[in-house]
Structure 1
């Protein structure tokens, strides 16, 4: 794993810090497979259940079998031919309740993951900002509005 691809524990904590806007550039996602393998490894290592239990939980979410050996291969950056699919990564996130890992991944492309109360707070912030915008528009229109004198236009 290169220095750029190491998992920083701070990346695994949800926050309201805005991610940097990402411009598609050559090599933007270079090493992503290794990074994802590191995320899988961290998720499995930090879960209190065995790899077999985590794999069984993933299997239940997916409705198909995921073995502990498959999970081990997904977590090994050296196993180039065994990259985890998006569906299986999402199943791992759901089975382990590790949306922080999904957030760490999507932050690399300028996105964030919000769940539950975080989403409600973000939505509330959006509504409040929209209300401020509309109040400012109302003030502007009020200062420009002239009484109608009853004549037809």
Structure 2
């Protein structure tokens, strides 16, 4: 049985509350929403919220500030709505503070302008997914190898078993 829209919205609101997400709304200047759409198309991102979160996490305040005086094409102003979790909200506020106390709306505009000015290839660095680098110590690697060999010895009929590993 299909769930009606009201039930689905209530369920989504509960999930957002549990994840401590906040909805942000920004009335942006002419052309900003089209630039965000361009960035999403160039970088194959389907959700505006995802694109904005990546822009926030990868923000380069100095580069963004260089876009403050850019003239925008004439088009209707827009409204950008998205949800952010506490970490992204903290990062947005840090960037705003580093830009001499700029508003969240102004920071979002500057980040979009900065990434858009970099063009289709250059904008990728502003919309990349941050990855954690995981480095295993020598002790952990050795323990993993030893445990793996111990498991291999338990089941010698394993098709991936190779006797040359058992030195």
TM-score by length of 2: 0.27
Larger strand fraction of residues? 2
TM-score by length of 1: 0.29
Larger helix fraction of residues? 1
